[in-house]
Amino acid sequence: MSRVLLIVSGGIAAFKSLELVRLLRRDGIAVTAVLTEGGAQFVTPLSLQALTEDKVYSALWSLTDESEMGHIQLSRAADLLVVAPASANMLAKMAAGVADDLASTVLLATDKPVLVAPAMNVRMWTHPATQANMATLRARGVQAVGPEEGAMACNEYGFGRLAEPPAILAAIQALLRPAARPLAGRHVLVTSGPTHEPIDPVRYLANRSSGRQGHAIAAALSGLGARVTLVSGPVALADPPGVTVRRVETAEQMLAACIAALPTDVAVCAAAVADWRVAAASDAKLKKVPGAPPPALALVPNPDILATLATAGPARPRLVIGFAAETDDMLQHAQAKRARKGCDWIVANDVRPETGIMGGALNEVHLLTAEGIEAWPRLPKSDVAARLALRIAEAMGAMEALS
């Protein structure tokens, strides 16, 4: 039986937590409740206790609670932590790592997924502080349901209403369904986008990569439950929800961020890393000197991130996947690249300008593995990402069964 630890924080919407408990129990999900001081202003421990048929926890340092079930154990005994309603104050404490009562301590100590259902006045919700806190929490993998738009208890109108209990239940069911999260507990590293290699403070060498494919892969892997670290070059894309994003500019910075992200179970190198950088980038803007020839740019090779990860010894991710962007003899070049770089799979695509793939919305790839070559149809980049994420989940499952 799945178990949810339900944290009820302050706000007029707290009364809806009782309905949520009823729906969860009806669905066969066990619930243990933690009531904050604010929450206790709106619902009584007794009503939560009656509906959960379990003890309700509220004080941080109750000696009996600590001996029966300490806050660490409480934070680990559930499959999922749900904060509903999540007040602006609770979100702020979670974002800052404040642990000054049982609820916030449990949230800081947990190793389980967390779902928040925010509820507050519309101005509190739209305040940059709350939005920044939500962005921080999302980047750490915290999931959110709501808030919804509507009339509020304070006679204002807008976003801030607690999601309805059936919607919170649906979000909980999605997070608890293990088949939908085959990569839960896995850490995956994804590189994406181009790199910018400075010539001087205002000019750089770059390429036409948009980062769309890499970002879509990060989102798809996160959707299958993986903890994803996305190391991205400069792109004009939103961060995929629930993914930890490390932004870099140059190939050397990308390599350092990738190494800092290890250990990971899987690495997907989708970035179009510049092969060369300017040997001695100028600290000052290069000036045109009348009559003088244009400056000669001496280039030096950049580190190969894919090859470095694929030969990282004990730190090598179990599955290392590279991309091969080719304009001719695609399959031969991709085969050779797979062997040369020591990676397990290569996703090869034809980036001749007439294919419209580089920077476009569609992609047509071949997957090269030790078993052979698969031709995939032309698909939106998000569908290529979803297929690849499922193949990764299958491969990880198969490796698990062997070891």
Tokens of 336: 């050779």
Stretches 95-103, 161-169, 216-224, 265-273: which one binds ligand CTP (CB under 6 A)? 265-273
Site size toward ligand CTP (CB under 6 A) is: 15
Does 358 help bind ligand CTP (rule: CB under 6 A)?
Answer: no
Site string for ligand CTP, 226-255 (x = CB under 6 A): -------------------------x----
Does 214 help bind ligand CTP (rule: CB under 6 A)?
Answer: no
Tokens of 236: 């004009």
Tokens of 376: 């995939």
Catalytic residues: 154
Q: Where are the beta strands (DSSP E) in 127-180?
A: 143-144, 148-151, 157-161
Q: Which is nearer to ligand CTP, 25 or 246 (CB)?
A: 246
Find out whether 190 and 228 touch, Cβ atoms under 8 Å.
yes
CB of 47 to ligand CTP, least distance (A): 56
Does 325 help bind ligand CTP (rule: CB under 6 A)?
Answer: yes
Output the CA angle 260-265-269, nearest 5 degrees.
Answer: 65
Stretches 22-30, 31-39, 319-327, 383-391: which one binds ligand CTP (CB under 6 A)? 319-327
Q: Number of helices and strands (H, E) in the chain?
A: 14, 22
Pick the closest to residue 228 from 271, 261, 181, 179 (CA basis): 261
Find out whether 231 and 189 touch, Cβ atoms under 8 Å.
yes
Matching residue, tokens 């870099």? 248
Q: How far apart are CA 227 and CA 218, in angstroms?
A: 9
Does 269 help bind ligand CTP (rule: CB under 6 A)?
Answer: yes
CB of 392 to ligand CTP, least distance (A): 15
Stretches 79-87, 150-158, 169-177, 323-331: which one binds ligand CTP (CB under 6 A)? 323-331
- Amino acid occupying residue 327: T
Does 389 help bind ligand CTP (rule: CB under 6 A)?
Answer: no
Q: Could you say which of 42, 57, 125, 323 contacts ligand CTP (CB under 6 A)?
A: 323
Tokens of 266: 């899987």
What is the contact surface with ligand CTP in residues (CB under 6 A)?
191, 251, 269, 271, 273, 275, 302, 304-306, 322-325, 337
